[in-house]
Structure 1
Amino acid sequence: MTQPRRAVVIGGGIGGLTAAVALHRRGLHVTVLERARSLEPVGAAISLAPNALRALDVIGLGDEIRGLAAWSGDGGLRTPSGRWLSRSSAERAAERFGGPLVLLHRATLIERLAALLPADAVRTDAAAALADSGDPGRAARVTTADGELEADLVVGADGVRSAVRGALFPRHPGAVYSGFTTWRVVIPVPGARFASHETWGRGRIWGTHPLKDGRVYAYAAALTPAGGRAPDDEKSELLRRFGDWHDPIPAVLAATRPEDVLRHDVHHIAEPLPAYHHGRVALLGDAAHAMPPSLGQGGNQAIEDATVLAHHCDDLAAYTAARLPRTTAIARQAVRVARLSLIRSRAGAALRDTAMAALSKAGPALFLRSFDGIADWAPPQRPYASEHTPAGNR
């Protein structure tokens, strides 16, 4: 495949915009087609680990995002009563993996990414469909309401229900329900002072984390049939499920309005795709390897995908070879962690908690060790847009 000169990105989320920026910096003419009327993201906050921050160094954004890090001091894993099962610290994590963990609102990252593109690169309210995946001698074609676009490279970044994936691999079963739903809020909580934590109950989890702008990001998950909704509102549902859990959870719920709560069922790709490309089309992010959020790596892997794709944009087989084994392994680990954290039986949860506490006492870095091979990843190319970045942060 010759060096692509025109790229069309279907999907204007974090992965799609990162790919667009990386490809633009490689000299490609890039068009992003987003079906929504604006780039306002679906979701609340995102956790960016050092691996994603090093990928953002490639497009010159890493240091700016590192500056938004808010986690300091201790954090870790707790029980609903508040007992600590495992402790970790931001400083130890940064030392182990070469950088901080950054929590920020998705809208902040979307805004920063979009600002790195030419003004006319992003088209919103622009539903698109893949008409032809192309081959080495023929351009790929994408249809839109305004006509057809030809491209040397098409990037399918259209999420867990990806139509591009379905067009490339029609026999693949697609995403399946993971067995649990999630709730998320980003709100101000006056007077809140707490250590960043995740709490595991029986078939339920909760997490509370401070953001740099003073707000609080909280999320919850519970085993429940797909498609469920609260009979009244989702804040009331959270109060029923988590209202008697340890501080600061009651204070977060008290500060939450029903309209602040986002609820989404979680789906993942259980059967890996045979490849992340076909013809002149490449898939990234949830379109390629949707995974449960239990490791906080979904968006991080999409950002990695984007920079690796830009590096291999003239050889999509090399992109698949670089990304499919890694993301498959991480997705499987995310499924295992989700099952562990959401154990429903009383005996199973008690055994899990005892084991976690014992392992933590034996080695305080238990939590951090689970991210070895994930958070210490580095992109295949030097940060060609931010050569000033200190080597320890790459």
Structure 2
Amino acid sequence: MSNRIVVMGGGISGLSAALLLARRGFEVTVLERDQAPPGELAAIGDWHRPGAPQTRQLHTFLGLFRQHLRTHLPDVLEDLLAHGAEEVGIATPSGEAAAGAEDLVVLASRRPTVEWALERALRREPGAEIRYGTSVRRAEVQDGRISGVLVRGGVIDAGVLIDAAGRRSPLRDEFTVLEGDEECGVVYNTRFYRLLDGVPRPPLKRGVTTMVAGDGFGGGLFYHDNRTFAIGIGRLPDDNDLKALREADAFDQVTALFPEFEPWLRDGASEVLTEVVPMAGLRNSLRGLAPEAPLGYGVLGDALCTTDPAFGRGASVAMHQAVMFAEAFAGDPGSLPGLVREVTARAKEWVRPWYDDSVQADFVRTRLWQASVDGHPLPQGAGVPPVSLFSLMEAGEHDPHLWQAAQRVAGLLAPLDSLDTPENRRRLQEVWASGHRPQPPSGPSRADLVEVLAASSR
């Protein structure tokens, strides 16, 4: 039986797992169906990834992702920072530092830039190789164990197969079972830009983002590496009045309505980098290993769980699961096939609360948006809201303790159940007793968007 570990998929989850395992002395082969990234970062915008279309969307790299880079892959973090990524503090709403909150830092970068840096690091590892343009046709199984994978040209021997090929994995339906599956209930349209040289970066409201909300839609601006940024607008899948957002002229006219975006989009401030890129068919999904899955087969990243990208959790979840695999393998390298099943189960249970939270948040948002689209907006509650990530983040504008508690959970640095504590409940009540109430959206209404989109289509 071969000791080689084959990682199927060369995205963030696959590259992270392969790099961490190679540095622990394992022989690793990554199989990626798409082509290799460009050698120079300046050409990263032209990297064609048909197998991972989500790479063209905006991404956030939360505190947990940055923490794992700093702890386990400091050279990759250093390389990213040297090539235009930025560390941005979120210890306070204004981004100022705060004692005891040194972990509240996020990484501003496009996803292809992060993958470019991970791939550069992996290529330097003597025990690792990456084969691009290579698709797995099937897993080879002998006596109930992984013995290799079949690709064009023959069989690659392996004792362990880690499936990091995402939602389109050719083995996912064969070796995993669906344990949860719900529509996200949203379609996103995104466009990338770059601030022109000499233009100061406008302020952001929350770390690397400025979020906007409306009656039946939402969106935000996300700052990335090398002065690039992206704007995304979300709508209900069946909201035909807003479908024209996928058209460039219509999208530009709508984004011009938001005062939060004006400093970034005004004449002479930035240039457009991409067309408008839609993202639809999104689902919250959770999988586990099927009873008949062969020993030595494991799953991580989007092949195991997907959540609404609005929360920005995907890359950080993938990195954390890669760390889980690497640490477990290093602790007991003599029994890898059995460990793969065990770690996959642990990774699934770790991500389950975040999956459940995404399902619940999407349900609430869809209900609110649909009511607005139908012309019957739901009334706001009159009393102190229950403790939640969103209520603490709102109240955190007036209470640093609540802000940091919310940001640690939002960044996956603390579990969801750490929010509902006696102190947080008391502080939330005090903020409300002081007269604070969530501010209504200051930007355009849905009717404004519909009017602009209708005019643009004439």
Q: TM-score, normalization: structure 2?
A: 0.67
Structure 1 residues 186 and 361: CA distance shift in structure 2, 3 A: closer
The alignment status of 1:183 with 2:200, answered yes or no, reads: no
Q: Which runs of 4+ in 1 moved over 6 A?
A: 226-229
Give the total of aligned pairs: 361
The alignment status of 1:303 with 2:319, answered yes or no, reads: yes
Report what 2:378 is aligned to.
Answer: 348
Structure 1 residues 210 and 95: CA distance shift in structure 2, 3 A: farther
Aligned with 1:217: secondary structure?
A: strand
| CA apart distance, 1:360 | 4.1
Pairing partner for 2:10 from 12, 25, 30: 12
Report what 1:273 is aligned to.
Answer: 288
| CA apart distance, 1:179 | 1.5
Which of the two has higher C-alpha Rg? 2
Q: Is the 8 A contact 1:235 1:253 kept in 2?
A: no
- Judge which range, 42-51 or 335-344, deviates more: 335-344
| CA apart distance, 1:336 | 3.0
Aligned with 1:154: secondary structure?
A: strand
The alignment status of 1:98 with 2:91, answered yes or no, reads: no
The alignment status of 1:252 with 2:252, answered yes or no, reads: no
Residues 81-230 of structure 1: pairs in structure 2 closer than 5 A: 87=93, 89=95, 91-92=97-98, 95-96=100-101, 98-118=103-123, 121-132=129-140, 138-169=145-176, 172=178, 177-190=183-196, 191=199, 193-195=202-204, 196-225=209-238
Q: Is the 8 A contact 2:218 2:233 kept in 1?
A: yes
Aligned with 2:280: secondary structure?
A: strand
Report what 1:53 is aligned to.
Answer: 66
The alignment status of 1:359 with 2:395, answered yes or no, reads: yes
- Quote the Cα distance in structure 1 between the aligned partners of 2:9 and 2:112: 15
The alignment status of 1:330 with 2:354, answered yes or no, reads: yes
| CA apart distance, 1:251 | 4.7
| CA apart distance, 1:290 | 0.8
| CA apart distance, 1:219 | 2.4
CA RMSD of superposed structures (Å): 3.7
Name the aligned partner's letter for residue 375 of structure 1: L
Q: Is the 8 A contact 2:222 2:231 kept in 1?
A: yes
Aligned with 1:38: secondary structure?
A: coil
Report what 1:79 is aligned to.
Answer: none
- Quote the Cα distance in structure 1 between the aligned partners of 2:353 and 2:188: 23
| CA apart distance, 1:275 | 7.0
| CA apart distance, 1:12 | 0.8
- Quote the Cα distance in structure 1 between the aligned partners of 2:155 and 2:91: 53
Structure 1 residues 59 and 201: CA distance shift in structure 2, 3 A: same
Structure 1 residues 183 and 371: CA distance shift in structure 2, 3 A: same
Pairing partner for 1:319 from 335, 343, 346: 343
Q: Which has the higher contact order (CA 8 A, sep 6+)?
A: 1
| CA apart distance, 1:216 | 2.0
Higher helix share: 2
- Judge which range, 301-310 or 359-368, deviates more: 359-368
Report what 1:28 is aligned to.
Answer: 26
Q: Is the 8 A contact 1:205 1:341 kept in 2?
A: no
Structure 1 residues 327 and 113: CA distance shift in structure 2, 3 A: same
Q: For structure 2, list consecutive stretches of 5 or more residues without a partner in the other structure.
A: 38-46, 50-54, 330-335, 386-390, 416-458
| CA apart distance, 1:311 | 1.9
Aligned with 1:179: secondary structure?
A: coil
- Quote the Cα distance in structure 2 between the aligned partners of 1:143 and 1:229: 45
Report what 1:382 is aligned to.
Answer: none
Report what 1:238 is aligned to.
Answer: 251
Q: Is the 8 A contact 2:12 2:315 kept in 1?
A: yes
- Quote the Cα distance in structure 1 between the aligned partners of 2:220 and 2:245: 23
- Quote the Cα distance in structure 1 between the aligned partners of 2:301 and 2:11: 10
Structure 1 residues 114 and 236: CA distance shift in structure 2, 3 A: same
Name the aligned partner's letter for residue 28 of structure 1: F
Name the aligned partner's letter for residue 202 of structure 2: R
Q: Is the 8 A contact 1:134 1:280 kept in 2?
A: no
- Judge which range, 265-274 or 52-61, deviates more: 265-274
- Judge which range, 22-31 or 232-241, deviates more: 232-241
- Quote the Cα distance in structure 2 between the aligned partners of 1:284 and 1:364: 35
Name the aligned partner's letter for residue 265 of structure 1: A
- Judge which range, 258-267 or 96-105, deviates more: 258-267
Pairing partner for 1:261 from 257, 276, 282: 276
| CA apart distance, 1:60 | 3.5
Q: For structure 1, list consecutive stretches of 5 or more residues without a partner in the other structure.
A: 76-86, 379-394
Identity %: 18
- Judge which range, 359-368 or 196-205, deviates more: 359-368
Report what 2:428 is aligned to.
Answer: none
Pairing partner for 1:376 from 402, 413, 426: 413
- Quote the Cα distance in structure 2 between the aligned partners of 1:376 and 1:297: 11
Q: What does the per-residue CA deviation read over 1:186-237, in whole Å, with 9 as the maximum and x for residues that have no partner?
A: 3113445132411122232221133352222322222114999956953234
| CA apart distance, 1:71 | 3.2
Aligned with 1:47: secondary structure?
A: coil
